[in-house]
Structures are given as C-alpha cells and as structure tokens.
Amino acid sequence: MRVLLTTWGSRGDVEPLVGLAVALRELGAEALVAAPPDEDFVKLLDRAGVPLVPLGPTVHSVVAGPKPPTGKDAFKLAPALVAARFETLGAVAGKCDVVVATGLLPAGARDVAEKRGIPYVYACFHIFGLPSRKFAPGLRPGTPVPGEETTIEERWEQDAAAVNGLYGPALNSHRAAIGLPPVDNVRDHVFTERPWLAADPALCPSEGMTNFDLVQSGAWILPDDRPLPDGLEAFLDAGEPPVYVSFGSMAAYAPAGIAREATEAARAQGRRVVLGRGWAGLEAIDDADDCFVVGEVNQQALFRRVAAVVHHGGAGTTTTAARAGVPQVVVPRIADQPYWAARVAELGIGVAHENPAPTAESLSAAFATALAPETRAQAAAVAGTIRDDGATVAAKLLLDVAGS
C-alpha cells in the first residue's frame, strides 16, 4: 500500500506527517510526503528516510520577511497553492491508495483524490478552525470584523464565505479543468464530514467541542534519538537546568526583543538560558557564560534537561514539552496558539502569557509560577497521561481506509 501525505505550513505541520510516514513504514506500507521544499524540511525527511515531493514555494520565503504576511499576500498564496496541489499531487496520486491532507487549508487535495478514485482524509492538529457551537472562528483575510451582536453561528457562516473568497475561484476552475463539478462550500468540502484529529486527548479534549464526530488518534510524534550537541551537553552539565526559549518558525511573529527580555527574566530568577535560534534568529545579548544558543536540536531530549520552556504555543512544541514533564510559559502569537496557551494554564502545567509584548518583568513573574515546585509536579503528572502511539493508531486506521 502507498499513502500520499501532504501539507503546507511550518515545521509543526510537516513533522507530524513524517511521524505518520514512519509508523506506516513499520506496518509495511509505503508513504511519501508532499510538502514545501524548505531546507529544514528536506533535512527532516532525509533523516527519517521518507521521500519528499516538493509542493509549492518554501514557507520561509513567505513568512520570513521583516513583517508578517498581509491579507493581500494571502489572496496571492491561496490560489497558487491550489494550483500546486492539482499539479503536484495529480502527478503522484495515481500510484497511491489514499491521500491524507493537513496544514494550511489544503484545497485541491480532496479533488485530486476524487479524480483518481481513491479515499481522502483531512487531518488537523487542533480543534481551532473547525466549526463549533462552543467557540467562534478566528479572522481570515476578507472576513469583516464582527459586531458585538454577531452570533457564533453567523461568525462561522462568515468564515465559510471568507474561505470561498480565498480558494473558491481557483479550486472550481481547476476542478472544471479535470471534469469535476463545482463545490459551493470549500471549507466544509476540504474538512469532510469526519475529520481526523492528531492531538493528544489530555491536551486537546474534543468531545462535544466541534460540529463533527472527530476521529482522534493522539498526536503523530516522530521519535528522535539524536544526541545533543557536545557543546550543549557540556553547558547543561555545568550547572542547574536552564530555561529554554524559542519561537520556532515564527520569524516575523516573534516578540520584539524577546531574547533580551527572556534572558534578563531568567537571570532575575537565578537561571541560565538556552536560546533556540529558530527562524526568528534569536541570539545571545552578551558574552556571559550563562547563555547558550542552539540551532535545530532534538527537543525531545533537550526538554527533559531544562527547568522550563518558553515558546509560541505551537501544537508540536506544546505536546513535546508536555510529554517531557517540563513547565511551560506560552506567549501565543497567531492562529491556534492562544488555545494551547489556555490549555497549558488550565492543566496547571505552566503559564499563559497573554500580553503579546513580554517584558523582563512580566516574564520573570511567569517564570516564578512555572518554576514553582507545584507546577513541576503537575507537569510531571500530566506527562504520564500523554500517549505516544498516535501515529501508529492513525497508520492502522489508514490501512483500514485503503482496504475498505
């Protein structure tokens, strides 16, 4: 059996698919991943021995400018990605038995599967963005700012209209070109009637939270057995566990001056610092020996060696920190990140830093809570509930889907 896995987004969108591909391989199936050809992702798939099919532009080229992408940028990117999916997935799907799509709304993937007559699965890593009677959607490009009298149901109707505006013309044009009829609601067409949720039930409880009967497998985790760099090992061994700070792929979204503010906050709490450079390019603020800067690293190993993790609230980083039993300070920036920050606070395993412009003082206060013995004890307790078999569960389900 061959499975086509596809996404377009940050590392948090790509790595879970690699984890699923490895789980499929262990069950005797073949998987290939169609994803953006960023250098980081190329290395990731090569390390896992999973074939990469380059899809669309690099993510770095879109998000790593001095300012975040604009609504105008979104209206250019959306049809370009639709065209890329029809072209790229269309070229390889004919040799596959099932298509799994995730990441930035993957309009075009279901349509290629439909044309090839093979099953399609939409998967997501959080419930944010799935229509719900419990919560309203975020704002998409083209969505008007809602008035106070706007109901949740009306907000979701506006969301569907915004998705149609972004993707509808391109999607239906490409569908017509391959002999398929138009779709009226692009969002619901992409999501299907039963999306899969690749998130841990303890971190992301889903029952009754959306309008769907979700298939929740648990997070798709790629095992990482790489050793830590020698210099980092030496730094960790030289003193008490430090605080780790990184904003991953956030680039222009990282808070201004976060390296300085976090370093000063950690020092105020008597802690050393490991800065994860990431796409935001975090660097040490001075030559003091209480700070170590690291690039791409095995976070599964590193998080077990630190006192707390400061991050943006991506699904992957939140899950990795929770599995490691390390307290978290989450400074959410966009999309689903406020949700994960709130869950960390609700579970008592860290702090949601709601101010998007953290200062040394506000971070120091957050560290005081995160570093408290009771927070670490709760983080350790929750870690024992996080399942690590989500990718295997999903892989077995896919074998059933392909064979049905």
- 6: closest CA among 51, 39, 49? 51
Name the 3-class secondary structure at 389.
Answer: coil
Q: Which sequence spans correspond to the domains of the chain?
A: 2-221+388-403, 230-383
Q: Please answer whether residues 273 and 331 qualify as being in contact, where contact means their C-beta atoms are separated by less than 8 angstroms.
A: no
Same topology, domains 2-221+388-403 and 230-383? Answer is yes
DSSP 8-state secondary structure symbol assigned to residue 271: -
User: Which tens digit of pLDDT belongs to each residue from 385-394?
Assistant: 999 999 999 9
Superfamily of domain 230-383: Glycogen Phosphorylase B; (3.40.50.2000)
- pLDDT value, residue 148: 80
DSSP 8-state secondary structure symbol assigned to residue 144: P
**Which residue would you say has higher pLDDT here, 67 or 95?**
95
Looking up tokens 């049809």, which residue turns up? 79
Looking up tokens 């709601």, which residue turns up? 354
Alpha-carbon gap, residue 175 to 315, rounded angstroms: 32
Name the 3-class secondary structure at 156.
Answer: helix
Taking CA atoms, 293 is separated from 9, 41, 195, in Å, by 25, 21, 39
Distance, first Cα to last Cα, the chain: 12
- 243: closest CA among 359, 364, 346? 364
Q: Please answer whether residues 253 and 49 qualify as being in contact, where contact means their C-beta atoms are separated by less than 8 angstroms.
A: no
Phi, psi (5° rounding) for residue 386? Answer: -80, 125
141 pLDDT tier (thresholds 50, 70, 90): confident
User: Which tens digit of pLDDT belongs to each residue from 22-70?
Assistant: 999 999 999 999 999 999 999 999 999 999 999 999 999 998 877 888 8
DSSP 8-state secondary structure symbol assigned to residue 95: G
404 pLDDT tier (thresholds 50, 70, 90): low
The 8 Å CB, 24+ separation contacts for 384-388 are: 384/325, 385/202, 386/200, 386/202, 386/203, 386/219, 386/319, 386/322, 386/323, 387/200, 387/201, 387/218, 387/219, 388/218, 388/221, 388/323
Looking up tokens 């074939």, which residue turns up? 51
User: Which tens digit of pLDDT belongs to each residue from 269-302?
Assistant: 999 999 999 988 999 999 999 999 999 999 999 9
What CATH code would you report for 2-221+388-403?
3.40.50.2000
Amino acid in the structure at residue 266: A
Looking up tokens 């995730």, which residue turns up? 102
pTM for this predicted structure: 0.96
DSSP-assigned states of every residue in 163-180? HHHHHHHHHHHHHHHTT-
Strand 215-216 and strand 30-35: the pairing is unpaired
- Span 162-189, mean pLDDT? 98
Here the tokens at position 314 are 């991506």
Cβ-based neighbours of 21, under 8 Å, separated by 6 or more: 3, 5, 31, 32, 33, 48, 50
109 pLDDT tier (thresholds 50, 70, 90): very high
- pLDDT value, residue 64: 80
Amino acid in the structure at residue 79: P
Quick check: 176 pLDDT over 80?
yes
- Span 363-369, mean pLDDT? 96
Looking up tokens 């603020």, which residue turns up? 285
Count CB-CB contacts under 10 A for residue 281: 11
> Quick one: which H or E segment has residue 72?
helix 71-92
Alpha-carbon gap, residue 232 to 193, rounded angstroms: 47
Helices 360-370 and 258-268, packing angle to 10 deg: 50
**Which residue would you say has higher pLDDT here, 403 or 4?**
4
Name the 3-class secondary structure at 187.
Answer: helix
- Give the range among 133-142, 189-198, 211-220, 355-364 with minimum mean pLDDT: 133-142
Strand 350-352 and strand 273-276: the pairing is unpaired
Alpha-carbon gap, residue 392 to 255, rounded angstroms: 36
Quick check: 175 pLDDT over 80?
yes
- pLDDT value, residue 139: 86
- 8: closest CA among 77, 55, 65, 42? 55
User: Which tens digit of pLDDT belongs to each residue from 293-347?
Assistant: 999 999 999 999 999 999 999 999 999 999 999 999 999 988 899 999 999 999 9
Alpha-carbon gap, residue 22 to 49, rounded angstroms: 8
Burial class (CB in 10 A: 0-12, 13-18, 19+), 223: exposed
- 143: closest CA among 157, 124, 129? 157
- Give the range among 40-54, 142-156, 217-231, 281-295 with minimum mean pLDDT: 142-156
